[in-house]
Chains A and B, each alone.
Chain A
Amino acid sequence: MLYREAGDFKTTYAADGQTFPIAFDRWRYYGVLAVAFGVVPFLINDYWANAVFVPFLIYAIAAIGLNILTGYCGQVSLGTGGFMAVGAYACYKLMTAFPEVSILVHIVLAGGITAGVGLLFGIPSLRIKGFYLAVATLAAQFFLVWLFNKVPWFYNYSASGQISAPERTFLGVAVTGAATPAWAKYLVCLVFVVALAWVARNLTRGALGRQWMAIRDMDIAAEIIGVNPLRAKLAAFAISSFYVGIAGALLFAVYLGAVEVGEAFGINKAFLVLFMIIIGGLGSIFGSFAGAAFLVLLPVLLKNVLVGGLGWSTSLAAHIELMIVGALIVLFLIVEPHGLAQLWRLAKEKLRLWPFPH
């Protein structure tokens, strides 16, 4: 009854072109934001923050980043783990070199540095296409992880080879380090997610986003109608890496606190984020959130059911999780190649016409 555009008259172009043209949709999003900012921080505890909310928000940023590159621009990347590592290490170096500058600035700068590295590894995309490129991005993944492992300057010559985030505060509240309260972790990530998702949504709606989609659908045809592939592809690589770098910086500084590069940013991370956007929906910002939520919640759920409920061993549960994730990927690609986002779109379409489907 509520979900329809009938009777909702637009009088300006701006109103007509807005992201959520349906009033109910708009209010629902404001509602979600209000709950996220106004209610959750007061109820959240350490378990919920560490097991569900913080990883969900961080992976959502990474998934949006990869979705820009893979979903919108059509360049499959298997180097996400490596780029997240760049973000994390850039953040660490900045945090330790300039302790007086705000941590939030460092996180954004870390994203910027990652964008530069991403640009560098994006250059081959001008000549290499399809899965040749996917394999070429593996070079970034393995090289970057090796680099952070082998060059002591990156981890400040610490004996363990790990990096660990020193305590930094924002407005007097610790946001990194061991003493960080759950709600502070959550809020920092939430602010970044909301800002970045808003930017991504509008980028992909605009001229740049249309260029990306033209490149994705057929790059030669796009070139002929006047899209500059050099600019469009490199912009996709840079912006995508910016997002992924911020996700890496948050994962290290806010969520984990201490990381070892091979373990935290290995090839599995690259696949995890790729799976998120396949399950969530390629070429959809909402899909990035849905996929991230799905793949963050699935292990928690399986662990609670199999280990907590049935008393099976954790390793067995982990293996079964691998099987389920693999099977789900195949299933989604068969049944709904556009992922959860498409299911959501179909549901909304049904709702608009309800109760008269024709």
Chain B
Amino acid sequence: MSDQLLFAMEVTLNGLMAGVMYALVALGFVLIFKASGIFNFAQGVMALFAALTLVGFQTGQVPFAHLINAVFGTRIHHFGWSVPTLAAIVATMAVMVLMALLVERLVLKHFVNQAPIILFMATIGLAYFLEGLGDVMWGADIKRLDVGLPQGISETIDGTTFGWFGYGFFIDRLDIVAALVAAALVVSLTLFSQYTRQGRALRAVADDHQAALSVGISLRAIWVLVWSIAGFVALVAGMMWGTKLGVQFSLSLIALKALPVLMLGGFTSIPGAIVGGLIVGVGEKLFEFAVGPMIGGATENWFAYMLALVFLLFRPQGLFGERIIERV
């Protein structure tokens, strides 16, 4: 086999893995969109916020340390203890649930019956607020996140492919873990929405708000639930991305890339989020590999958006989305 083909195969595999990471963020978007019709722009920032909080708890940082220091002239930074990873994850999850409650109380409640585009802009505001809050709470420096996930080249795949082709593929072990986690997430979310009481209520709300209300489902409770689940998905995505790149502001930009993923897959489909993620991941890696060097590289910045734009011209509802029917 020629070298170029082997490289292309390696790039494709890595693209698939990167695509899984995008899909992780996109999942959170789809969940909220299905249950409340809200296009939650803040999902990416939620992942960043969750990762920041996780690191903060883990290393025993004092929340709002900078603010407290600035106001009272003290010099506190750390409690001086470190929390075991699992406990920190549970605590972070608690924070995300609290956030879901507050978002419902303070924001969503007031937007019932508003146009979707108004809600969309409100979530942009929410994204800004959370971004500022994360920085004020935990400081804006780049942090290392270590939750014990494996990292570095996978020796097994390297060895196996070397045996097959005489060329070892480089695959990050973290990416493999991410793929497994994403699969587990999708399966458990599907089970949850198909076989539990809450899950059924959730699907009812997604189907029709008013009908769900009329059979006694509390819309507000469901919203809190959905935002909590989205918070959980954000936490998982934040853990993966944070381990990969360090916890920093650019995480929320990566999360923006979940948007073209969604547009490809359709806003309402969980499998769509996964497939869209894979297409975007493979597409941008192959494009960068094949065309990138000719036109200056770093095409990953925009390729996903352009792909989605061109794709939408031909199929506005995405691959798996429900057909858009408009009535006057």
Q: Chain A: residues with CB nearer than 8 A to chain B?
A: 76, 124, 127-132, 134-136, 138-139, 142-143, 145-146, 149-151, 218, 220-221, 224, 267, 271, 274-275, 278, 310-313, 315-316, 319-330, 333-334, 337
Contact = CB atoms under 8 A, between A and B. Distances in A.
- With most chain A CB atoms within 10 A of its CB, the pick from B39, B253, B295, B302 is B302
B268 to A, nearest CB: 12
Interface stretch (B125-133, B171-179, B238-246): B125-133
A58 to B, nearest CB: 22
Contacts of A221: 328
Contacts of A274: 121, 124
A221 B299 CA distance: 40
B305 A313 contact: no
Interface stretch (B51-59, B112-120, B157-165, B209-217): B112-120
Contacts of B309: 124, 136, 139
B275 interface: no
A319 B136 contact: yes
B302 A333 contact: no
12 contacts: A127-B312, A131-B116, A146-B298, A316-B67, A320-B132, A320-B136, A322-B128, A322-B131, A325-B128, A326-B126, A326-B130, A334-B111
Contacts of A224: 328
A138 B129 contact: no
Given A322-B131, A323-B132, A135 B302 contact: no
Contacts of B117: 76, 130-131, 134
Contacts of B116: 130-131
B308 A220 contact: no
Nearest to B109: A334
Interface of B: 39, 66-67, 70, 106-107, 110-111, 114, 116-118, 120-122, 124-133, 135-136, 140, 253, 256, 259-260, 262-263, 295-299, 301-302, 305-306, 308-309, 312-313, 316, 326, 328
B128 A143 contact: no
Contact of A139 (B67, B127, B305): B305
B227 to A, nearest CB: 15
B49 to A, nearest CB: 12
B118 A337 contact: yes
Contacts of A145: 301
Given A134-B120, A151-B296, A328-B125, A139 B306 contact: yes
A150 B295 contact: yes
Given A135-B263, A151-B296, A329 B326 contact: no
Contact of B299 (A139, A146, A326): A146
- With most chain A CB atoms within 10 A of its CB, the pick from B128, B129, B140 is B128
B70 A329 contact: no
Contact of B313 (A124, A313, A333): A124
Closest A-B pairs by Cβ, 9 of them:
A329-B125, A326-B129, A322-B132, A326-B128, A323-B132, A139-B305, A150-B296, A142-B302, A319-B135
Nearest to A330: B125
B122 A330 contact: yes
A278 B42 CA distance: 17
B165 to A, nearest CB: 34
A128 B321 CA distance: 14
Contacts of B114: 333, 337
Contacts, number: 142
A278 B301 CA distance: 28
A321 B326 CA distance: 40
Contact of A315 (B118, B140, B263): B140
A321 B140 CA distance: 14
A320 B263 CA distance: 33
A333 B124 CA distance: 11
Contacts of B316: 127-129, 132
A127 B256 CA distance: 22
B310 to A, nearest CB: 9
A124 B128 contact: no
Given A143-B302, A275-B125, A330-B106, 14 more contacts: A129-B316, A132-B263, A139-B302, A145-B301, A146-B298, A220-B326, A224-B328, A319-B140, A322-B129, A325-B128, A326-B132, A327-B129, A329-B122, A330-B125
Contacts of A275: 124-125
A329 B121 contact: yes
A316 B260 CA distance: 33
A329 B308 contact: no
A233 B88 CA distance: 51
B132 A333 contact: no
B305 A330 contact: no
A310 B259 contact: no
Contacts of A134: 117, 120
A319 B132 contact: yes
A334 B120 CA distance: 13
A328 B124 CA distance: 11
Nearest to B259: A135
B38 to A, nearest CB: 10
Contacts of B263: 132, 135-136
Given A327-B125, A329-B124, A334-B111, A136 B130 contact: no
Given A135-B263, A313-B66, A322 B126 contact: no
A276 B139 CA distance: 27
Given A131-B120, A136-B305, A150 B297 contact: yes
A138 B132 contact: no
Contacts of B135: 315, 319, 322
A274 to B, nearest CB: 7
Contacts of B70: 310-313, 316
Nearest to A128: B312
Contact of A146 (B106, B107, B133, B301): B301
Given A135-B260, A150-B298, A333-B118, A326 B305 contact: no
A226 to B, nearest CB: 14
A301 B51 CA distance: 32
A221 B118 CA distance: 21
Nearest to B321: A132
A267 B253 contact: yes
A310 to B, nearest CB: 7
Nearest to A313: B70
A323 B110 CA distance: 19
